[in-house]
């Protein structure tokens, strides 16, 4: 057992998968000798060489397009976006090509796009976004968003082994803030399975990514101060959603708060809320509440960014509001 | 001009009526205020006058049909003769007002929002939404939350055995119903269904407790024997024992006003008027005509009011107001010589007194065995607001009033 | 905010002055917004933003005075040469 950060866990997953399977290779901007903007791929160039850790020009469209091409010929590319924000440059390649190839030609596209996402790092409007909802809307893509080091490792390994295009949103804020002891044995976390991060009976809190920790803080405080027991569900995989676990929890608690860092409107929370009202309306004792970032660009000003994003205090207040309903 | 004739509001809690008989047919001429049909509700049968003069143009509800209060049952093409202006005059404007008040009160209650899960739990536990609305809510603005109803059910569950057998009994009934060759299936008529509903509702609403006391009626029996002939000659009505009971109840209620009230959520509505309902069992139904302001009446007045009500009950000539507004009820359990019983409260009242048969029994009086005219009185009361002590004191007052009766 | 800032190449001093002007505009804007604050959170946020801009001005003015001092020194040094 050794302590690994979230970032190191990703690095380990890449290393292990490249070692296990020769068809796995990496491509992205400055990921080779430099080790990537965040040093996620540090050491991999040295270990596997320039043929398997490929530096690319600054063109996300080219990176994703190349990855698709490699994937349909039988390789397993892992493409890095330097920031998830810039994934839009390769948007068409992902939603029009990668997502539909299997449907059109029965050709699997076993590729992973790693997208460092998320705010709270004073990155402003181009380096802070959480663009998962755009891909959530496109059938044919899987979406993963780990919160813990263990899940970061286990989910990346599953993503690489999956035969569908997977977008893997790794949260920049968590890179070096989250640490945990990881076992020596291999960790593989299946896609499509959510995790209960905290058991509770009174209210279901559904979340993912960095907000898992804010929700856990809020839940702890609610239990200590108001004896409210909140069940915190970390979705881990956003597409496909683990509706089974969500509905089980809703049936138990009858109250739901959904938290995500991505902007509110058209977010994944909207879809979850809709499905709950369709499938578990009769179990609800209060309206489903969503907490998310404001519907604005991410502000530069630290003060405004704090206002813009959800945090433990806002979640705490929202849960309290729903409990008082 | 056509005038709509609607199902009238026949009493406070009555929401529908059944057409018993049309006395006029389509195309018949009718006069305003002329009786044109009979309707029946769970409380009373009534003859309904025409709201206008003219021709009965359309009959929209056939005999046997049940119509919501306010629903159109017929249309009358009114005359256009000068001087007999065809106004859609309301037959009973006062009742119309009451109806309006009732509707708004209903809306207020409707504001009690029940969430989907609360409704679901209520349905699964056979709790009516009206009963749910009696639960005190802990949510915002008193909303009844999931935990409120679960708590309510678990606290009810302590007296659950009866509820469970009730459920088991009904499943049993469903099963046997299939074998129709060994069972006669009798569908409940409107009145029976309403009685059944009311009884169940009352038992669910109020925790019933019954206290039984014994009274020596020798004085009253002796007095009545002596006075009944002259009384009938003088006043034209019989002097029944019921009159004595009504008089005693009215007097006792004045000392124990809590028994003359009703429960509204977490408020007690203590009634200033004493209107005593007398349960009268007819062949197929139970009617509770009311003696109004019983405390203002003398024994003679009570006897006269009773005679009037009895006669009109038998002739089906009761008006809706004759069965409304009772604040306490009296029921005679002793008709066939039975000693005592445990009556069910007539909601929204909180007390009902049952009188057993008056029988000659050997009792000890001043250390001697004597033959006295004895009776058992049983009081069922709503234990939510009436404590045992209070009920006990009321009963002892009743006993004293009856035992120490004096004709003056 | 529609002033044309960049119609010619600006010196560092001019840029810093522009920044200080912008911060002052911001303080005015935030102060107005603060007057319309409806909740404690809004009140706190605008106060913090105003304070933030004051800090920015302090920093910018410090930079400006350093440049000025540098220029004075340069001047003085050049006098020495001549």
Q: pLDDT at position C77, please?
A: 75
Residues A87 and A226 in one domain: no
Can you give the pLDDT at residue B256? 94
Q: Looking at the structure, do residues A135 and A34 belong to the same domain, yes or no?
A: yes
Same domain, A102 and A246: no
Does A187 map to a domain?
Answer: no
pLDDT at position B194: 80
**What are the chain A neighbours of B116 within 8 Å (beta carbons)?**
281-285
Does residue B287 register a pLDDT over 70? yes
CATH number of the structural domain B194-403: 3.30.559.10
Q: Is A115 helix (H, G, I), strand (E, B) or coil?
A: strand
Using a CB-CB distance cutoff of 8 angstroms, which residues of chain B are in contact with residue A325?
139-140, 143, 145
Q: Does A135 share its domain with A50?
A: yes
Does A87 fall in a domain? yes
Q: What is the architecture, at CATH level 2, of domain B112-185?
A: Irregular (4.10)
Among A47-56, A73-82, B264-273, where is mean pLDDT lowest? B264-273
Considering the domain architecture, whether residues A152 and A59 belong to the same structural domain is answered as yes
Nearest to A32 by CA among A43, A24, A22: A43
Q: Outline which parts of chain B fall under CATH 4.10.320.10.
A: 112-185
DSSP state for residue A184 in the 8-state scheme? S
* More reliable by pLDDT, B236 or B281: B236
**Both A124 and A205 in a single domain?**
no
Residue B27 has pLDDT above 50, yes or no: yes
**Which chains touch A (3+ CB pairs under 8 A)?**
B, C
Indicate which of C22, C27, C40, C45 best probes the interface with A, i.e. most A CBs within 10 Å of its own CB.
C45
pLDDT in tens, B306-346: 898 888 888 878 888 888 889 999 998 888 888 889 999 99
Number of structural domains found in chain A: 2
The answer to whether the Cβ–Cβ distance between A301 and C45 falls below 8 Å is no
Nearest Cα residue in chain A from B123: A282
Which of helix, strand or coil describes residue B310? helix
Which of the two residues, A157 and B154, has the higher pLDDT score? Answer: A157
A119 domain residue, yes or no: yes
Instruction: Name the residue in chain B with its Cα closest to that of A323.
Output: B139
- Mutate which of A296, A300, A301, A305 to test chain C, going by most C C-beta atoms within 10 A? A301
Neighboring chain A residues of C52 at a CB cutoff of 8 Å: 301-303
Please give the pLDDT value at position B177.
Answer: 46
Tell me, what's the pLDDT at B190? Answer: 75
A149-163, A203-217, B66-80, range with the lowest pLDDT: B66-80
Half-sphere exposure of residue A107, counting CA atoms within 13 Å on the CB side? 16
Q: Do chains C and A touch (3 or more CB pairs under 8 A)?
A: yes
**B153's tokens:** 């059910």
* Residue B13 binned pLDDT confidence (cut-offs 50, 70, 90): low
Chain C positions touching A307 (Cβ under 8 A) are 41, 45
Residues of chain A in contact with residue B114, where contact means CB-CB under 8 angstroms, are: none
Residues on A contacting B at a C-beta cutoff of 8 Å: 254, 281-286, 324-325
CATH number of the domain where residue A62 is located: 3.40.50.970
Identify whether residues A152 and A199 lie together within a single domain: no
**Portions of chain B given CATH number 2.40.50.100:** 2-105
Catalytic residue among A105, A127, A137, A171: A127
Inter-chain residue contact C45 with A307, CB threshold 8 Å: yes
Confirm if C49 and A301 have CB atoms less than 8 A apart.
Answer: yes
Neighbours of chain C (3+ CB pairs under 8 A): A
What is the pLDDT at residue B109? 41
Enclosing H/E stretch for B59: strand B54-59
Mean pLDDT (whole number) for A207-212? 98
Domain B2-105 has CATH 3.40.50.2300: no
Helices B160-178, B146-157: inter-axial angle, 10-degree rounding: 90
Q: Is the pLDDT of residue B406 over 50?
A: yes
Range in A97-111, A208-222, B278-292 with the lowest mean pLDDT: B278-292
Cα–Cα distances in angstroms (integers) from residue A220 to residues A197, A214, A254, B120, B256, in the given order? 12, 10, 20, 31, 54
B273 a catalytic residue: no
The last residue of one of the domains, among A134, A156, A182, is: A182
| Nearest residue in A to B138, CA atom | A324
A229-245 pLDDT, tens digit per residue, is: 999 999 999 999 999 99
**Residues B94 and B125: beta-carbon distance below 8 Å:** no
In this prediction, residue B64 has a pLDDT band, given cuts at 50, 70 and 90, of: confident
pLDDT at C80 over 60: no
pLDDT higher than threshold 70 for residue B161:
no
pLDDT (tens digit per residue) in B81-97: 444 444 444 444 444 44
Residue A152 lies in a domain: yes
Average pLDDT over residues A266-272: 98
Q: Answer whether B117 sits within 8 Å of A282, measured CB to CB.
A: yes
At residue A67 the predicted structure's pLDDT band, cuts being 50, 70 and 90, is very high
Collapsed DSSP state (helix, strand, coil) of residue B132:
helix
A314 to chain C: closest CA residue:
C41
> Does the pLDDT of residue A209 top 50, yes or no?
yes
Percent pLDDT > 70 in chain B is: 85
pLDDT score recorded for residue C1: 47
Are residue A146 and residue A211 in the same domain, yes or no? no
Q: Closest-CA residue in chain C for A300?
A: C49
Q: What average pLDDT does the structure give for chain A?
A: 96
Q: What is the mean pLDDT of residues A297-307?
A: 94
Concerning whether A127 is annotated as a catalytic residue, the answer is: yes
Give the pairing of strands A24-28 and A53-55. parallel
Residues A157 and A275 reside in one and the same domain: no
pLDDT at A135 over 60: yes
CA distance B145 to chain A (A): 7
Q: Which chains touch B (3 or more CB pairs under 8 A)?
A: A
Claim to verify: residue A124 and residue A252 sit in the same structural domain? no
Select from A182, A212, A240 the last residue of a domain: A182
Residue C3, classified by CB atoms within 10 Å of its CB into exposed (0-12), middle (13-18) or buried (19+), is exposed
Tens digits of residue pLDDT in B372-403 = 999 999 999 999 999 999 999 999 999 999 99
> What is the extent of the structural domain holding A225?
195-324
Please identify, among A125, A160, A182, the residue that sits at the C-terminal boundary of a domain. Answer: A182
Q: What is the CATH number of the domain that holds A262?
A: 3.40.50.920
Cβ contacts of A303 on chain C, cutoff 8 Å: 45, 48-49, 52
Q: Given pLDDT bands bounded at 50, 70 and 90, which one contains residue A318?
A: very high
Tell me if there are at least 3 CB pairs under 8 Å linking chains B and C.
no
Mean pLDDT confidence for B233-260? 91
Q: Are residues A200 and A177 part of one domain?
A: no
Tell me the mean pLDDT in the region B100-122: 64
Q: What was the pLDDT predicted at A295?
A: 97
User: CA dihedral defined by B132, B136, B141, B144, rounded to 10 degrees?
Assistant: -40
Across the strands, what pairs with B19? Answer: B39
A30 and A108 together in one domain: yes
Query: What residues in chain A have their Cβ under 8 A from chain C's Cβ atoms?
Result: 301-304, 307
Please judge whether A286 and B119 are an interchain contact, meaning their C-beta atoms are less than 8 angstroms apart.
Answer: no
Whether residues B117 and A324 touch (CB distance < 8 A) is answered with no
Partners of B118 on chain A (C-beta within 8 Å) are 285
């Amino acid at each position: 057992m050794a302590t690994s950060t979230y970032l190191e866990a990703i690095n380990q997953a890449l290393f292990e998968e490249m070692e296990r399977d020769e068809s796995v290779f990496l491509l992205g901007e400055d990921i080779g000798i430099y080790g990537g903007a965040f040093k996620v791929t540090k050491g991999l160039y040295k270990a596997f060489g320039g043929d398997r850790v490929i530096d690319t020009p600054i063109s996300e469209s080219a990176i994703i397009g190349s990855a698709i091409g490699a994937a349909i010929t039988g390789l397993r590319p892992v493409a890095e976006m330097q920031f998830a924000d810039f994934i839009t440059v390769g948007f068409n390649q992902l939603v029009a090509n990668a997502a539909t190839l299997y449907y059109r030609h029965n050709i699997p596209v076993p590729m992973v796009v790693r997208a460092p996402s998320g705010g709270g790092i004073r990155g402003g409007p181009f380096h802070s976004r959480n663009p998962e909802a755009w891909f959530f809307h496109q059938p044919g893509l899987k979406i993963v968003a780990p919160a813990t080091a263990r899940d970061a490792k286990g989910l990346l390994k599953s993503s690489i082994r999956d035969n569908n295009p997977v977008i893997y949103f790794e949260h920049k804020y968590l890179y070096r803030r989250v640490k945990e002891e990881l076992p020596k044995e291999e960790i593989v976390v299946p896609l499509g399975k959510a995790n209960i991060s905290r058991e509770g009976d009174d209210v279901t809190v559904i979340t993912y990514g960095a907000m898992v920790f804010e929700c856990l803080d809020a839940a702890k405080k609610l239990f200590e101060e108001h004896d409210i027991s909140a069940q915190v569900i970390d979705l881990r995989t956003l597409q496909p959603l683990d509706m089974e676990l969500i509905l089980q929890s809703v049936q138990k608690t009858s109250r739901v708060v959904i938290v995500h860092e991505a902007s509110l409107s058209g977010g994944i929370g909207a879809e979850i809320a809709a499905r709950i009202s369709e499938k578990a309306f009769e179990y609800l004792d209060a309206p489903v509440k969503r907490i998310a970032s404001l519907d604005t660009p991410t502000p530069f000003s630290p003060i405004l960014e704090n206002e813009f994003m959800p945090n433990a205090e806002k979640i705490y207040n929202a849960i309290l509001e729903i409990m008082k309903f | 001009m056509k005038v709509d004739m609607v199902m009238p509001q026949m009493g406070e809690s009555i929401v529908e009526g059944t057409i018993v008989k049309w006395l006029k047919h389509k195309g018949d001429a009718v006069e305003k205020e002329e009786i044109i049909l009979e309707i029946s509700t769970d409380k009373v049968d009534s003859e309904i006058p025409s709201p206008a003069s003219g021709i009965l143009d359309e009959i929209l509800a056939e005999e046997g049909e049940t119509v919501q209060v306010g629903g159109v049952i017929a249309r009358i093409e009114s005359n256009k003769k000068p001087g007999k202006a065809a106004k859609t005059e309301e037959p009973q404007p006062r009742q119309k007002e009451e109806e309006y008040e009732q509707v708004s009160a209903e809306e207020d209650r409707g504001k009690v929002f029940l969430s989907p899960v609360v409704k679901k739990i209520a349905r699964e536990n056979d709790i009516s939404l009206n009963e749910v609305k009696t639960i005190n809510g802990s949510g915002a603005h008193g909303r009844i939350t999931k935990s409120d109803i679960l708590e309510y059910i678990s606290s009810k569950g302590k007296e659950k055995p009866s509820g469970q057998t009730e459920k088991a009994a009904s499943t049993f009934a469903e099963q046997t119903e299939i074998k129709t060759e060994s069972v006669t299936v009798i569908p409940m008529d409107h009145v029976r269904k309403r009685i059944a509903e009311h009884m169940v509702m009352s038992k669910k609403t109020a925790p019933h407790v019954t206290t039984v006391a014994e009274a020596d009626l020798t004085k009253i029996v002796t007095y009545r024997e002596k006075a009944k002939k002259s009384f009938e000659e003088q006043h034209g009505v019989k002097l029944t024992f019921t009159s004595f009971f009504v008089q005693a109840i009215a007097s006792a209620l004045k000392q124990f006003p809590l028994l003359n009230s009703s429960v509204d959520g977490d408020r007690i509505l203590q009634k200033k008027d004493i209107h005593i309902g007398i349960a009268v069992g007819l062949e197929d139904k139970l009617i509770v005509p009311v003696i109004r302001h019983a405390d203002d009446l003398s024994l003679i007045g009570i006897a006269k009011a009773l005679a009037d009500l009895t006669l009109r009950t038998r002739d089906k000539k009761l008006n809706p107001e004759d069965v409304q507004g009772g604040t306490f009820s009296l029921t005679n359990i002793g008709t066939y010589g039975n000693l005592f019983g445990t009556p069910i409260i007539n909601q929204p009242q909180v007390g009902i007194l049952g009188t057993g048969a008056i029988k000659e029994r050997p009792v000890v009086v001043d250390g001697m065995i004597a033959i006295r005219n004895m009776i058992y009185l049983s009081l069922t009361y709503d234990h939510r607001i009436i404590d045992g002590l209070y009920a006990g004191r009321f009963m002892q007052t009743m006993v004293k009033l009856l035992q120490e009766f004096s004709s003056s | 905010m529609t002033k044309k800032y960049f119609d010619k190449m600006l010196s560092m001093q001019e840029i810093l002055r522009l920044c200080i002007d912008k911060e002052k505009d911001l303080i005015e804007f935030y102060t107005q917004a603060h007057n319309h604050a409806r909740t404690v959170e809004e009140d706190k946020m605008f106060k913090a933003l105003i304070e933030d801009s004051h800090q920015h001005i302090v920093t910018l003015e410090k930079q400006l005075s350093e440049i000025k001092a540098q220029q004075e020194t340069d001047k003085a040094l050049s006098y020495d040469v001549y």
